[in-house]
Structure 1
Amino acid sequence: MPEHLVFTLAASLAAMGELAGHERRGTLLWPGRSAVLGLVAAAQGIRREDRAGLAALEPLRVAVGVWDEGVPLRDYHTVETVPTAAAKRPDSRPEALRRAGQGTNTTITLRDYRVGVLYGVVLWGQPLAPLADALRQPAFALYLGRKSCPLAVPPSPRIVEAEGAVEALSNLQLPPFREGRRAPVLRLVASDEPLGANERREQRQDAVLDRGTWHFASRAVHVMHIGDRA
């Protein structure tokens, strides 16, 4: 059977993508492809400006299992913004701030999070041992979305043989505080590849075009509900 790398993502706070505006940054219910590959890149010590290093991860296939999507939390805070006239179509936010100089404004913004999340990730499609080693001893701190969202436990990667993503996720090592009588069940799986007859297809804006300038494209995701949401 094919080899799959499976690991855990558990965090007290998480923020998983979404179209970003100036006043509100939302979050989806589970981490998308770009978030997972970004986390793996951080574990390997690949920096955002290392285009070749990031491109080497693109052949990986990704699936995410949702054990607990958490509950929503909204944070209000202030942010420095750049007037449209001063921005002049910059390639990035840092570039816009440099061009604006002292002509910036401060505004109240909203940030959405998920509290108490638990996910499992499956990777396959290229050599997995180096990725597992990096997740055991990551070069950079691993966080789930924003830097204010560090992982609650190590990802505990393991390489398993399985027919597909759903079977591979059955080998996930749950955190000690989520095991026992109240252990959660796998509710949903979202995958790069088809999962079966009961799946549906969704569109996600998480295919990386240029990570340095935060440019992403839409792609199809195969989603299957498995467990009871009660």
Structure 2
Amino acid sequence: MSVLAFRLYAPLAAWGTGEAGETERPTAGHPGRSHIVGLLAAALGLQRTDEAAQRDLAAGYRFAVAAQGTRQPLRDYRTVQTVEPNRAQRKNGFVSRKHALETGAKVHTMITRRSYLQDGLWRVFAAPKQDGAAPPPDALADALRAPAFELYLGRRDCPPALPPDPVVLPEQEWEAQLAAYPAVPAGLCVRPVPGGLRQLAARLARHPVTLAWEPGFPGAPDPDAAGTSRRQVADQPLSRVLRRFASREEVSRTLANPEAPSREG
């Protein structure tokens, strides 16, 4: 069976977590299952209201993410307005925010603080389940090359700075998988690519790889080996319309970087 691999890179990314509130919008260190499914659904052109297709896509794949680099956090803020209905509106109800404002509702301004990751690069690997009804890896790769909807890394103000560059690979052990799909395409190390991207390639090569995967992902490291951790994350999408998520297990481990420069000589 084959595995789809693609790349996510942007100067800013924000992977929302289940702890997000009204005023605090934190970010995880890598995209979770909900983010990946949402990005693939956007590439395929699936509407949020197409719950059946969304469920098939989410249930048809296991995912793993390889993260590299320092991924420095950045804090920003936005001002937002909330509407407080007046007595008559609370009694009779109001149709929309616009209607509430036009009929005398009070407006309150509040600050929301948002966290981003700078210069993050992630390799995503998607392994289809044998009994899944989702599109095959080849179809997902074609969709990523010409996405139906705009792709972004967590928030609409975080567009990708590199194409996803999808590749369909055979199932293999992780050392071979990472070597077969490097963090930065070879073309980025050759002129006339901007110097910033060449520096990114050199910087990433000096960092180890943090791998996070779902139990059962083919070729994944031993989940019981030393240095491996497990945690529960609430990013299993149940309904895109209602924005409901379930908890799942995630396994993670730090691996040697096959692109690291040799110390010999």
> Which bracket does the TM-score occupy, shorter chain normalised?
0.7 to 0.9
Letter matched to residue 114 of structure 2: R
Residue 5 of structure 1: aligned partner: 4
2:125 to 119, 122, 125: 122
How do 1:140-219 and structure 2 match up within 5 A? 140-164=149-173, 167-173=176-182, 174-175=184-185, 176=188, 177-178=197-198, 181-184=202-205, 185-193=207-215, 195-196=221-222, 197-198=225-226, 199-219=228-248
Residue 133 of structure 1: aligned partner: 142
In the TM superposition, residue 135 of structure 1 has moved relative to its aligned partner by 0.6
In the TM superposition, residue 7 of structure 1 has moved relative to its aligned partner by 0.7
| Distance change >3 Å, CA 98–CA 47, structure 1 → 2 | farther
Residue 82 of structure 2: aligned partner: 81
Residue 109 of structure 2: aligned partner: 106
- Aligned residues of 2:85 and 2:106 also touching (Cα < 8 A): no
CA separation in 2, counterparts of 1:191 and 1:132? Answer: 20
- Aligned residues of 2:85 and 2:100 also touching (Cα < 8 A): no
In the TM superposition, residue 180 of structure 1 has moved relative to its aligned partner by 5.5
- Aligned residues of 2:69 and 2:204 also touching (Cα < 8 A): no
Residue 47 of structure 1: aligned partner: 47
Residue 57 of structure 2: aligned partner: 57
Unaligned runs of 5+ in 1: 89-94
Letter matched to residue 159 of structure 1: V
Structure 2 SS opposite 1:216: strand
Report the TM-score, using the length of structure 1 for normalisation: 0.85
- Aligned residues of 1:76 and 1:109 also touching (Cα < 8 A): yes
| Distance change >3 Å, CA 100–CA 224, structure 1 → 2 | farther
Letter matched to residue 8 of structure 2: L
- Aligned residues of 2:71 and 2:118 also touching (Cα < 8 A): yes
Residue 223 of structure 1: aligned partner: 252
CA separation in 2, counterparts of 1:104 and 1:209? Answer: 33
| Distance change >3 Å, CA 23–CA 100, structure 1 → 2 | farther
- Aligned residues of 1:79 and 1:108 also touching (Cα < 8 A): yes
Identical counterparts, % of pairs: 37
In the TM superposition, residue 158 of structure 1 has moved relative to its aligned partner by 0.4
Report the TM-score, using the length of structure 2 for normalisation: 0.75
The number of equivalent residue pairs is 220
In the TM superposition, residue 116 of structure 1 has moved relative to its aligned partner by 0.5
Offset from partner CA, 1:80-109 (integer Å, 9 cap, x none): 2355999x9xxxxxx984796534422011
- Aligned residues of 2:4 and 2:126 also touching (Cα < 8 A): yes
CA separation in 1, counterparts of 2:254 and 2:203? Answer: 20
Letter matched to residue 189 of structure 1: L
CA separation in 2, counterparts of 1:83 and 1:49? Answer: 29
Letter matched to residue 40 of structure 2: V
Letter matched to residue 9 of structure 1: L
Structure 1 SS opposite 2:21: coil
| Distance change >3 Å, CA 160–CA 74, structure 1 → 2 | same
| Distance change >3 Å, CA 96–CA 170, structure 1 → 2 | farther
Unaligned runs of 5+ in 2: 130-135, 189-196, 258-265
Which one has the largest radius of gyration? 2
